[in-house]
Amino acid sequence: ANNGYDLWLQYKKTENNNLLSHYKSTVKSIVVFGTSKTIEISARELKKGLSGMLGQTIPKTSNIESDNVIVISSLSNLEKNFLPLIENDFVNLPDEGFLIKSVKYRNKNLTLIISKNDIGVLYGSFAFLRLLQTNQRIDNLNIKDAPRLKHRLLNHWDNPDRTVERGYAGFSIWNWHKLPEYIDQRYIDYARANASVGINGTVLTNVNANALILTPEYLEKVEALANVFRPYGIKVYLTARFSAPIQIGKLETADPLDEKVQQWWKNKAKEIYERIPDFGGFLVKANSEGQPGPQNYRRNHVDGANMLADAVAPYGGIVMWRAFVYSEHDPTDRAKQAYSEFVPYDGQFRNNVMVQVKNGAIDFQPREPFHPMFGAMPHTPLTMEFQITQEYLGFSTHLVYLPKLYEEVLQADTYAQGKGSTVAKVIDGSLHNNSLTGMAGVSNIGNDINWTGHHFAQANWYGYGRLAWNPYLSAEKIAEEWIRCTFSNSEEFVDTIKRMMIKSRETVVNYMTPYGLHHIMGTGHHYGPAPWVSNLPRPEWNPVYYHKADGYGIGFNRTKSGSNATSQYFPEVEKMYDKAKTTPEKDLLWFHHLPWDYKLKNELTLWEGIAMKYQQGVNEVYEMLTTWEKMKKYIDNERYNDVKMSLEIQLKEAKWWRDACLLYFQQFSEMPLPDGVHAPN
């Protein structure tokens, strides 16, 4: 049995005998230079991983003259004799980067894992272990790697009472009640898992959290967590509720231009940094969905963000100011609001402020075109916010491999500086030459035994981390790594499951929101279909606002003749989206309101096309289920059964989506279902 707790760090004995003997002859022992906790953790991880995968204990040795050893060290601690072997490799290597190199020294074979700072040794150790986990050879290595982004963060939407907003894997893993004294083993395992993919920061609290977390009673607990995470290279961040000076500071206002307010935040920052010298900074949701913010005082986002930025600047902290804003006062098109509110402020934020932008302009839908803010603020570092937890994609019940979604957004071309100005280049700072870079992923972690509720949701945590490290990695390569590390290296299994995962994202789009439909999920909880809801007090809370189905057709006209959201894109993209014929069909109804008999590229009418997509989604889930059943022999019973039960629910619910949406939309289309689409009953 395997309950999934060990995630992608299973370290099972290598099954391929040729490889096993190759590993055994290349790795006999480990030599460690340096004594920091991070180095100790690296050595322990190597010992654990190698011993597991080689099926025999790999000891530490201090004898640098032995043959076939792994040497781990930071550059500064390295035995002087080794230096000439690698010195040239270190020109231009960033701080967290590492080198893995096979060398000969006095006729002995060594594998060096060397970094500039200790944390790079830990990253390098995990990278080396991954080579064995994925059944690659480990001779003649010469690997140099470093993260492309500086801040690679998880955002926990965890509340102090341990509920998790949009969390579907149990309760929060932060046990505030028992902190600071009681250090749950989970905290250590959490840090280890994150470090293994290069995540280096965590926001502990919900963007909607109250100010309590900033009181001394809680800061003491936060400090305890920071101490656990530090040797794993992970910094702690907190959400800062804008009204905190009133709620916990007894001030009468939270006006960012009020000197008392400014001083309050400065004192608060000082208090935090005295406890946690490497505290990362603040994440802020202001003037969005009822959260307080500078606009309550007729100030703007710049006033608010810069005030907090000044408070943390003396200590090297940053502020991540979220761009997820929309208000009931501008009901024409919610998709336009963040851009309208933020782009005019480009260049006015302090240099330790990042504006955090969701991947799309609405809200973490199964598919959204990339957010038009990317590329539009050349003088402001923008950080990408992805959602790892599946708020609109079947919670932790549906199998959906999200790196495919992330990749689509990162590879999208903004045309900000002509062709090839991808979102990835905006994010990594290369397009506009800025060095403050980052990515945030809304965590899917809870206290379920397997961390994420669904075993395959672990792949979304893993894949998010890998893409935050390098946004140019392919989703397919990441899936393959994950499968090999988590389940098996059997080629048949790897190929089959990889294909299933890669397809799973399009499948969920097919049975939930094909052709650019969006936000037609059940209101509030966002689980299951509810395109008919129309009675909520704010127009943009109602699904009918997004699909606009009527006797003529369906879709949201965001072109010049409609809300003109297309004008927020650079001209090449605007031109493409402004006409139905040039809009990729996957985004069609996001931008256009089209007649039911509109001709699709495959000659079907729009109505037929929609119906076929819903059916295709159902068929594909059925295929996932049968594929999984065929792979039974490669999988332990516990994980096999868990996933099978979830797939059965997913199949039932894909049908629910198909039946509900088609039955509802058919009232408007008044057209028959095409052959092959099962009639809803």
So which residues are the catalytic ones?
289, 363, 391
Residue 504 CB, nearest approach to ligand GCU (Å): 22
CA 265 to chain centre: 30
Using CB under 6 A as the binding rule, the residues of this chain from 364 to 423 that contact ligand GCU are: 391
Residue 328 CB, nearest approach to ligand GCU (Å): 14
**What single-letter DSSP state applies at residue 459?**
H
- Print the SS3 string covering 147-165: CCCCEEEEECCECCCCCEC
Residue 363 CB, nearest approach to ligand GCU (Å): 5
Which pair of structure tokens corresponds to residue 53? 């995968």
Among 47, 148, 166, 301, binds ligand GCU (CB under 6 A): 166
Among 285, 299, 334, 518, binds ligand GCU (CB under 6 A): 285
Nearer to ligand GCU, 166 or 484 (CB): 166
The burial class, CB within 10 Å (0-12 / 13-18 / 19+), for 138 is middle
Residue 289 CB, nearest approach to ligand GCU (Å): 6
The burial class, CB within 10 Å (0-12 / 13-18 / 19+), for 634 is middle
Write down how long the chain is.
Answer: 681
Using CB under 6 A as the binding rule, the residues of this chain from 297 to 356 that contact ligand GCU are: 324
Nearer to ligand GCU, 539 or 676 (CB): 539
Binding mask 429-468 for ligand GCU (x = CB under 6 A): ----------------------------------------
Among 6, 67, 165, 189, binds ligand GCU (CB under 6 A): 165
Q: For the chain, what is the radius of gyration of the CA atoms?
A: 26
Using CB under 6 A as the binding rule, the residues of this chain from 45 to 84 that contact ligand GCU are: none
Residue 464 CB, nearest approach to ligand GCU (Å): 16
Sign of CA dihedral 286, 289, 291, 294: positive
Nearer to ligand GCU, 148 or 285 (CB): 285
Residue 537 CB, nearest approach to ligand GCU (Å): 16
Size of the site for ligand GCU (CB under 6 A): 8
Rounded Cα–Cα distance for residues 548 and 53 (Å): 56
Nearer to ligand GCU, 200 or 239 (CB): 239
Residue among 349, 631, 450, 357 at smallest CA distance from 5 = 450
Identify the H or E element spanning 103: strand 98-105
Residue 207 CB, nearest approach to ligand GCU (Å): 5
Nearer to ligand GCU, 166 or 455 (CB): 166
Residue among 455, 498, 490, 504 at smallest CA distance from 640 = 455
If one asks whether residue 484 binds ligand GCU (CB under 6 A), the answer comes out as no
Nearer to ligand GCU, 7 or 169 (CB): 169
Identify the H or E element spanning 308: helix 301-312
Nearer to ligand GCU, 80 or 329 (CB): 329
Which pair of structure tokens corresponds to residue 655? 């049908």
What is the maximum span of the chain, computed from C-alpha positions, in angstroms?
82
CA angle in degrees (0–180, nearest 5) for 639-645-646? 90
If one asks whether residue 207 binds ligand GCU (CB under 6 A), the answer comes out as yes
Among 333, 341, 363, 653, binds ligand GCU (CB under 6 A): 363
Amino acid identity of residue 629, one-letter, is E
CA angle in degrees (0–180, nearest 5) for 506-155-4? 65
Residue 208 CB, nearest approach to ligand GCU (Å): 5
Rounded Cα–Cα distance for residues 96 and 437 (Å): 14
Nearer to ligand GCU, 232 or 326 (CB): 326
Which pair of structure tokens corresponds to residue 183? 């250090």
Rounded Cα–Cα distance for residues 546 and 556 (Å): 6
Among 109, 208, 262, 627, binds ligand GCU (CB under 6 A): 208
If one asks whether residue 522 binds ligand GCU (CB under 6 A), the answer comes out as no
Instruction: Give the count of alpha carbons within 13 A of 100, CB side only.
Output: 22
Q: Which positions lie near ligand GCU, rule CB under 6 A? A: 165-166, 207-208, 285, 324, 363, 391
